[in-house]
Amino acid sequence: MRLDWQTYTLELAHPFRIAHGTSLTRTAVFVNLEGGLGEAAVVDYHGERLEAVTAYLEAARDRLEGAPASLQERLARLPAGGSRAARAALEMALFDLWGRALGAPLWRLFGLDPDRAPPTSFTVAMGEPEEMAGLARAAKMPVLKLKLGSEGDLERLEAVRAARPDARIRVDANGGWTPEAARRLLPELTRLGVKLLEQPLPPEDRAAYAGLKGRGLPLFADEPIKTVRDVVDWAPYVDGVVIKLAKSGGLAPARAMIATARGLGLQVMLGCMVETRLAVGAAAHLAPLADHADLDGPLLLKNDPFTGLDYDGARLRLPAEPGLGIRPRT
């Protein structure tokens, strides 16, 4: 199969500061597999490197050579190890080809109702309290996800709450708190009407999550949740898991993780990296399966080169065209 790829620099509309560091740009790799499209997010705090993405694509190109036309047989040829983001990109491309051949968008082939996709949150990156309040006010989105995880978080949260008394606020600390800080902040989060807390502590502190669970604020794990095994292992410690294609390695493993999370009584948030409409559009096909959507990557970018996923405020309008339904903007 003919496979081409291209590295692309994503420009962020605002500096994107989270507990893992600050970015003004991010790197994406766009793949084209005989016309099927996919995107790999090169996110270093998830262990992704451009060289590893490229190495995976080269290995996959060899293995896909002469592959039969069936989706399952092609998926089985994708290398098992290596970059999960690269696997996700190729898997998107294979599903894109499959859906186009069948003449229907993926959500329909998956038997899902696009009207059941939850509204997406809008991410407010970490900054000075007044900056965050300004972004929250300008966003006019009903659900905000505040990136916290360093000194001064209470002031940040208070400023945003004062600016947006109406907003449903979620907090993502990206593992930036200590157990002591988390215990101190938890009652304040509740007082300020926060609805959900994501990754307060580093993944290594899993046992300490037990001390935060069941205290009135749904607790979600994100960074460590990459496989069905991770969903099972984390289930006793959290109320929900954040599933992203770039972590799971694509749509099929993400669906398996969602099913397992459901079986274990966990809530599901479907998230994204800082990604274009290509990768986020792919994830959006699974949004009807999620309780919460955090699919705002394209809204954070200045130079998204793709079209096909639309936002009506916070509401996702799922692609209507066959396959992924995402095309280069012309």
Using alpha carbons only, what angle is made at residue 19 by residues 280 and 257, rounded to the nearest 5 degrees? 40
Q: State the minimum distance, in angstroms, from the CB of residue 255 to Mg ion.
A: 20
Count of residues interacting with Mg ion (CB under 5 A): 3
Q: Is the dihedral of CA 39, 291, 105, 145 positive or negative?
A: negative
Helix (H) or strand (E) holding 62: helix 50-64
| Contact stretch for Mg ion (CB under 5 A) within 46-54, 168-176, 280-288, 315-323 | 168-176
Q: DSSP labels for 84-136?
A: HHHHHHHHHHHHHHHHHHHTSBHHHHTT--GGGPPPBPEEE-S--HHHHHHHH
d(CA 144, CA 152): 19
The smaller minimum CB distance to Mg ion, of residues 74 and 226, is found at: 226
| Contact stretch for Mg ion (CB under 5 A) within 50-58, 70-78, 190-198, 306-314 | 190-198
296 binds Mg ion (CB under 5 A): no
The smaller minimum CB distance to Mg ion, of residues 96 and 198, is found at: 198
The smaller minimum CB distance to Mg ion, of residues 222 and 304, is found at: 222
Q: Which of 136, 170, 143 is nearest to 311 (CA)?
A: 143
DSSP state of 311: E
Q: State the minimum distance, in angstroms, from the CB of residue 294 to Mg ion.
A: 7
172 binds Mg ion (CB under 5 A): yes
The smaller minimum CB distance to Mg ion, of residues 147 and 285, is found at: 147
| Contact stretch for Mg ion (CB under 5 A) within 80-88, 165-173, 205-213, 262-270 | 165-173
According to CB under 5 A, which residues from 193 to 232 bind Mg ion? Answer: 198, 222
The smaller minimum CB distance to Mg ion, of residues 172 and 230, is found at: 172
Contact 77, 63 (CB under 8 A): yes
Binding site for Mg ion (CB under 5 A): 172, 198, 222
